[in-house]
Amino acid sequence: MIASTGSTASVAPQLCHPLDPLNAEEITAAVAIMRASAHYSPQMRFASIILVEPSKAVVLGFTAGDHIERQACAVLLDNAAGATYEVQISLTDHAIISWVHVAGVQPGVMLDEFFECEAAIKNDTAFQAALRKRGITDFSLLMVDPWSAGNYGDEPASWQGRRLLRALTWVRSDPTDNGYAYPVEGLVAIFDLNEMRVLEVLDRGVTPLPTRHGNYAPDRIGGLREQPKPLEVVQPEGPGFTVDGYHVTWQKWSFRIGWTTREGLVLHTIGYNDGGKERPIIYRASLAEMTVPYGDPHENHRCKNAFDVGEYGLGTLANSLTLGCDCLGVIHYFDAVMHDSRGQVVKLPNAVCMHEEDYGILWKHVDWRTGHAEVRRSRRLVVSFIATVGNYEYGYFWYFYQDGTIQYEVKLTGIMHTGALPPGETRPYGSIVAPGLYTPNHQHFFSVRLDMMVDGLENSLYEVHTEAEPIGPENPYGNAFVARKTLLATEQQAQQQIDPLNARYWLITNPTAHNSLGQAVGYKLMPGENVRPFVHPESSVSKRAAYITNHLWATPYRPDEKYPTGDYPNQHPGGAGLPAWTAANRSIEQTDLVVWYTIGAHHIPRPEDWPVMPCSYIGFMLKPVGFFERNPGLDVPPAADHACHNGHNHSMG
């Protein structure tokens, strides 16, 4: 990853911190070291190469100028043998530390595998014959979406042990058309990624193509409304944040930017400067997994259960963001440095966008007796990236507020996944969004991993909800209610659901640190909109993505427990990750605590979501509870007079 400003990349900074992401030279060196090993063979692909993050003791004890031991971890796939290897490399010593065969697993699907798969399927004679049955003869207009194969327990013996994709197909009417308007229903290609060939063509009958286009580009929809009057974000003195390599400071906040091919954006060592003291809150935060189960049992839709982090890698699918479209204001960009499966460095400019936003009122009071008013404007720092996963776009946004609040938000947009229905047919498991065009009900689940460090590494977790007191001597008027706090001392006690009717939230405290009121300092995780999964507990997706069955999980920190579905969810039957770890029911009291929060977005499609969806928003907040002794936003200065109005008075009534 390269820190940059504006829309052009700068020269990679000198490494100055143990959490600095791998740069191009290090990735190149790692590839060269592996290729020089006797274990390497030319048919191997580089599925991932990421930084081995040093221990917390090394990171937290680091001072500028200290020696940095740089290591990388790589996952290699041998196409010829169908074997997966994990390789640990010392970049400092230019040597292999370990080279281990991991039996019975499949790495995530690599981006160039997608392109190779699509090209091979288009050229397959059996697949072309199935298309001709449907009157499709111009194969250059095909869109083939390779979906992860999953693991449903009913795969034929001929598929066992293979690295597979299930490919679905659409066809454009012209090269710039939105092909998702024309799904080729009933046709699935089973593709072997190791042999790069179609293993089987499943043809379940011809359904007519829908006839209405779904274009959304301005030159193809016509009748645009009047252009809104300009709304400009101007910061004549520049932004309020400071960037030193990957270290960011803003309005008493500090954190480090990181990046992996799997998670995309990672935030490290988030802290707040309180009275000149840097107080830690979160050691590491990232989106660790996401799963999108579709709710239609029809053959063409029942296997749509993608794990977009573990099976594809959000980092590799990230967008290059553009000033004036994805973000507004005075922006600092960070570029991502990754690699393709052949070990070539791939640089993605403007992968992470950081800017400030006005966010209305921070606090206000009018003394009606004196007529004196005090109001402060809220400003927030936005750190985001956007990934295109086939048809969908997901925006991942971290917000930092001046009152110590941290917010995480996912913005969902893009194009719904479509199928075709015969004229006049409907289906209860989804919606008709255009004549003959059908999109299934589905959900999106996101697992956010929060490696907490509230004023240190000894944290505890509490469930807090509100109860009405019964009428009695202590509550004679029936108006009393209390917040009940219960310690969640073990992993299984921490497996919880949201409860909005009882105002449930979860409190992460440090029992060894107290404010002047004698209260343990803490942060509370406040759920936002959420939903439970509607897949059956015995379904394949429930077993493979068991994290979706609870909104909250918590574990004691272990460096190898990174992903809620395990290291290799691709084609895995399930049970790995959180369900396996928490079966031990380890203590999580006063320990180095990791909190896993599951966000569920529920999508019953509507015509207004077609042909491209308006953004929907979902997320959660972390708010200080006793972490500060008063409103930490009191010292925010009043806005300058010229910032409150522009000299024009427009009123109605």
Which residue type sits at 83?
A
- Catalytic residue, chosen from 308, 335, 451, 609, is 308
Residue 373 contacts by C-beta under 8 Å, 6 or more apart in sequence? Answer: 364, 365, 366, 367
Distances (CA, A) of 47 to 6, 85, 86, 559, 565: 31, 10, 10, 21, 18
Distances (CA, A) of 574 to 192, 364, 540, 541, 579: 21, 51, 8, 8, 9
What six digits make up the tokens of 25?
């030279």
Tell me, yes or no, if 308 is annotated catalytic. yes
Residues in the chain: 653
Tell me, yes or no, if 124 is annotated catalytic. no
* E strand map for 402-434: 406-414, 419-420, 430-434
- Catalytic residue, chosen from 294, 392, 462, 563, is 392
Which residue type sits at 470?
P
Task: Provide the CA 173 distance to its chain's centre, in angstroms.
Answer: 33
CA contacts within 13 A on the Cβ side of 384: 25
Helical axes 125-132 vs 111-122, angle rounded to 10°? 60
Distances (CA, A) of 618 to 346, 411, 447, 621: 31, 7, 12, 11
Q: Which residue has the tokens 């004023």?
A: 455
By the 10 Å C-beta count (0-12 exposed, 13-18 middle, 19+ buried), 642 is classed as exposed
DSSP H stretches of helix in 401-550: 540-544
Residue 104 in 3-state DSSP? coil
Catalytic positions: 308, 392
